[in-house]
Amino acid sequence: MPFVNIKITREGATAEQKQQLIEGATQLLVDVLGKNPATTFVIIDEVETDNWGIGGKNVTELRAAAKAGKK
């Protein structure tokens, strides 16, 4: 009974995109490990960019700095 947890930043992924992630992750486990799709669980957690950190900074700050650097 595989369990896949996908974490993405909350930035407007559509229901269709999330469905594609669920289908793709399930199919990957079927193809690679021969798992039963009926018992494969996929959870998508959407995390606010203020709560996702990289290199000591949150993603909100990093994106703002990148945007400012492009001007």
CB-based burial, 53-71: b 16+ in 10 Å, e otherwise: eeeeeebeeeeeeeeeeee
DSSP 41: E
37 is known as an active-site residue:
no
Which one of the listed residues 2, 4, 44, 62 is annotated catalytic? 2
Q: Which residues are catalytic?
A: 2
